[in-house]
Amino acid sequence: MTTNNTGGWMLTTMTYALGGRIQNEAGTEAVMGQQTIDALQLLHDMRWGDDTMGREFLFDQEAVRQAFAGGSIGMVLQAPDCYFTVVKDYGFDPAYYGQGQLPQGGAGSNGTLTGGSLKLFNAKATPNQLLAAAKWVKFYEFDKYYDQAAALTDAETTAKNDSPVGLPGLPPVSQEVYDRYLGWIEPHINVPLENFANYTSSTLQLIAEPPVGTQQTYAALDPVVQQILTDEGADVVKAVADANAALKGIIDQAAR
């Protein structure tokens, strides 16, 4: 993937896996270094040495999932919800889907990029409206983990809709609570959990996204990945240096 911010997103993931960072923790400096160079060099070597990267280099997330489901791609860097899209939306056979952690390097400082979702409440809402919103979030996101009846109702309804039940991911509850929940819904699980063993057994450090201008940062890195995959003579070291300069501009602009 190299378009719509996905190239920068996955380059960040690869950099983290090798122990590097894109920005410092405070979001005041662009700090891509040898780890980002190594990530891009790997892509370069796979493209120009191994010839394992195909000929299409303008994928975004939706397009790459379609190609994967259609069988023209055998392996792809993706977020964990990829399974839902390729199986539910594109009819991919679950038996042939496997998911694992990205290979790691960098001993100690390495890990995997993590994100999340926000629940936004209107600041002008009344106290009763805010309370209702909070109750809805509790009902929709958490009740099934603590109430067996709610868990079974959710699982049964989801299964009837031919949607994945028991799809591995990062739960918003403790492992103990999550394991109990999986026990409750076990009869309805329709995901081949054995195909996720390398993912579910992972104990990688979770590393937050670049803190300043996150999506702008990813967008600025898209053309860097494109360059490496389309220009055999690309100077990887210079590409990273130029990208650091571009990201410094994004950081400085955000600070104004």
d(CA 11, CA 2): 9
d(CA 182, CA 116): 22
CATH superfamily placement of domain 6-115+208-255: Periplasmic binding protein-like II (3.40.190.10)
d(CA 163, CA 85): 10
What is the predicted pLDDT for the residue at 116? Answer: 79
d(CA 92, CA 85): 9
The DSSP-derived string for 67-108 is HHHTTS-S-----TTHHIIIIIIT---GGG----PPP--STT
The tens-digit pLDDT sequence of the chain (256 residues) is: 999 999 999 999 999 999 999 999 999 999 999 999 999 999 999 999 999 999 899 999 999 999 999 999 999 999 888 999 999 999 999 999 999 999 999 888 999 999 878 899 999 999 999 999 999 999 999 999 999 999 999 999 999 999 999 999 888 999 999 999 999 999 999 999 999 999 999 999 999 999 999 999 999 999 999 999 999 999 999 999 999 999 999 999 998 8
Q: Which of 178, 185, 191, 183 is nearest to 155 (CA)?
A: 185
Quick count: other Cβ atoms within 10 Å of Cβ 133?
15
Dihedral (Cα; 119, 121, 123, 128), 10-degree rounding = -140
CB 40 within 8 A of CB 236: yes
Domain-wise residue ranges, the chain: 6-115+208-255, 127-200
